[in-house]
Amino acid sequence: MATQNQQNNDATNTVLECMRLCIQCANECIDQGSKQLAACIKLCQVCADICALCVKCMAAGLSQSKVICSACADVCDACAAECEKNQGGVATMQQCAEACRQCAQMCRQMAGA
């Protein structure tokens, strides 16, 4: 059985990986220069931001972590859906979508904890 510390480390790593892939995906979409990817870029950027906030709140042990984790899960779901919809031409879109789905699941667990 995993310790609370290990669970927190796993959650942090999951959220950080999502943040990293969202930043990478947004940058690759920007490089494509397609206006069709605008929504994806915006969602990836916001998702990366809320992931960073989520990690900060969890690390600080703030009582607001549950609310932030819940919001993070919602944004991650939206980002994953957008990436899945627009997979053409950007290598990391599928990876980003998968990371967002994992992050959403982890954040929902953290919000319920």
pLDDT at 99: 98
Q: Which of 82, 103, 101, 102 is nearest to 93 (CA)?
A: 82
User: What pLDDT is recorded for position 35?
Assistant: 87
Structure tokens at 53: 């906030």
Per-residue pLDDT at 47: 98
CATH of the domain at 100: 1.20.1270.360
DSSP element (H, E) containing 70? helix 65-85
C-alpha of 23 from chain center: 10
Are 83 and 42 in contact by the 8 Å Cβ rule? The answer is no
Q: The whole model's pTM is what?
A: 0.91
Domain span including residue 58: 4-112
Q: How many domains does the chain have?
A: 1
Determine how many CB atoms are found less than 10 A away from the CB of residue 58.
20
Contact by Cβ (8 Å): 45, 18: no
How far is C-alpha 9 from the chain's CA centre?
16
pLDDT by residue, tens only, the chain of 113 residues: 457 677 778 889 999 999 999 999 999 999 988 888 999 999 999 999 999 999 999 999 999 999 999 999 999 999 999 999 877 667 799 999 999 999 999 999 999 85
